[in-house]
Structure 1
Amino acid sequence: MSGKLEGKTALITGASKGLGRAIAEEFAKEGARVAINYAHDEKSALEVKKITGGEIFKADVSNRDQVKEMARQIHEKLGKIDILVNNSGIWYLMPFENYDEEKVRRMLDVNLMGAIYTTLEFLPDLKEKKGTIINIGSNAGIGTAAKNTTFYSLTKAAIIMLTKRLAFDLSEYSIRVNAIAPGWIETDLTIGGKTDEEIRKLEEDFKSRTTLKMFGKPEYIGKAALFLASSDSVYMNGQVIVIDGGRIDNLTHSI
């Protein structure tokens, strides 16, 4: 590897599985020290620690007190961070008319407020380091028609606007803020609990909806995050990279 992140310290929220894990692994390969945040699955977090040589930190990012305590522990063990990846996210499928107050608020708390709390807590580090923020959104937040994902899509649309506003507001500190909007990626979030046959059908269905005829893998997002974290993207700010296999006709297909 080329050591693109040598000497850098990165915090990835929700890094015990899926996209967060893939990002942590890519960063570690390029020399970064990684802070692996997790909320529940310590076993998976320890696996990522073993692979990356990083440190694990438990915190529910929707709880500001827990985020503050995580920051204290990270500063004690690893020092100040250079890179923040706001990856933590959850989703619940529901028709709009079946609005569930608890589930919608939970998505808002984790997907949006979690990114806000974590960014606020580590902003002094990023100002000093002229650091980088990468927000993980979704193509569901920029117009993809996905059945029963209205409220989830709203939280991810907010992440995209947060990215653009922070890119403007924090530019005076030379902090770059960009986002990744994945399409359908094979993770526990999307295929967890499904049978092999259900997964096969799902893969074939989504392959048919992309110009590349491919199903998304977490490593695709990890490599994009590495690009945004490194000096390779030094002239990018306030941008959203869509990684969805070239999804065909976002307005007519439904998940």
Structure 2
Amino acid sequence: MGEFSNKVVLVTGGSRGIGRAIAEAFLREGARVAVTYAKSDDKARELEKMGILAIKCDVSSRDEVRRAAEIVGDRLGDVNILVNNAGVMYLMQFESYDEGLFNRMIDINVKGIIYTALEFLPQLRRTRGVVINIASNAGIGTAWEGTTYYAITKAAVIILTKRMAFDLGRYGIRVNAVAPGWIETDMTTANRAPEEVEKTKALVRSRTMLSTTGVPEDIANVVLFLASDRARYVTGQTVVADGGRIDYLTHGV
């Protein structure tokens, strides 16, 4: 029996990276866990062997999210904890703006949270549940090349978290966000040579107070705290987990 025994948890984008670490952490703590995923069928099958319900779902489609909510409700019961983790990142310089890629980030990173929260809201109201949105320290403003348009979507997640906390607090629903720094995942290392990844990690270490990089479990641990009764009086907040990054953009005067 773990801390989250008899709780139902849904993690979007939960087949790999941070999402998978979060899903596995809740499973170890006794929760009944479901994840949505977009493409990783093989990884989804691995999770199902562990006892996690995996549902193929594009969170940018409200119809698909509605179907996922019905499946989770039928198979596991009402969701107690919703973790909006699904996200994409496309790097581009400001002057290399790509309408299609930017819209895709908006659709998944922002609208995906809205659709998922709306479709699971009836369940969350019945359970007086918890919502945790995965943002990014890019949304607060790090000096990292090529992340301007991605940062816009994650800044939206941060203000959306505050507004959701305000709008849903009347139902006893807590809403918080976690803003990770650079975490070694498929997203941050895909299509990059090992030496390029090591160069990036060295750069991140040079820009953090702790001189280290993060792993998915670091974010999962923060999520578990925010989902627990120990955080019962915390809502509308964004917890930054980035090793103490020191390369934030100027705050002005």
Q: TM-score range by the shorter chain?
A: over 0.9
Q: Partners in 1 of 2:211 and 2:44 — Cα distance? A: 32
Alignment correspondent of 2:98: 100
Q: SS where residue 241 of structure 1 aligns?
A: strand
Q: Which amino acid aligns with 1:169?
A: D
Q: SS where residue 113 of structure 2 aligns?
A: helix
Q: SS where residue 152 of structure 2 aligns?
A: helix
Contact 1:9 1:34 in 2 (8 A): yes
Q: Partners in 2 of 1:167 and 1:40 — Cα distance? A: 31
Q: SS where residue 189 of structure 1 aligns?
A: helix
Q: Partners in 2 of 1:49 and 1:230 — Cα distance? A: 25
Alignment correspondent of 1:66: 64
Q: Partners in 2 of 1:101 and 1:248 — Cα distance? A: 31
Q: SS where residue 170 of structure 1 aligns?
A: helix
Q: Partners in 1 of 2:230 and 2:107 — Cα distance? A: 32
Q: SS where residue 7 of structure 1 aligns?
A: coil
1:34-77 CA distance string (max 9 Å, x none): 101101111111222333x2111110000111111111111121
1:97-140 CA distance string (max 9 Å, x none): 21111101000000000000000000011111000000000000
Contact 1:185 1:216 in 2 (8 A): yes
1:203 pairs with 2:209 = no
Q: Partners in 2 of 1:150 and 1:205 — Cα distance? A: 19
Q: Partners in 1 of 2:19 and 2:233 — Cα distance? A: 24
Q: Which amino acid aligns with 1:40?
A: K
Q: Partners in 1 of 2:221 and 2:44 — Cα distance? A: 20
Contact 1:5 1:32 in 2 (8 A): yes
Q: Partners in 2 of 1:173 and 1:44 — Cα distance? A: 35
Q: Partners in 2 of 1:69 and 1:50 — Cα distance? A: 22
Q: Partners in 2 of 1:237 and 1:171 — Cα distance? A: 8
Q: Partners in 1 of 2:15 and 2:149 — Cα distance? A: 25
Alignment correspondent of 1:45: 44
Q: Partners in 2 of 1:50 and 1:159 — Cα distance? A: 32
RMSD: 1.1
Aligned pairs, how many?
A: 250
Q: Percent identity?
A: 54
Unaligned stretches of 5+ residues in structure 2 = none
Offset of 1:249 from its aligned partner?
A: 3.2
Q: Partners in 1 of 2:174 and 2:61 — Cα distance? A: 25
Please identify runs of 4+ aligned residues in structure 1 that moved more than 6 A.
Answer: none
Contact 1:10 1:32 in 2 (8 A): yes
Contact 2:12 2:37 in 1 (8 A): yes
1:224-243 CA distance string (max 9 Å, x none): 11111111111100010000
Alignment correspondent of 2:21: 22
Contact 1:36 1:49 in 2 (8 A): no
Q: Partners in 2 of 1:70 and 1:217 — Cα distance? A: 28
Q: Partners in 2 of 1:45 and 1:151 — Cα distance? A: 29
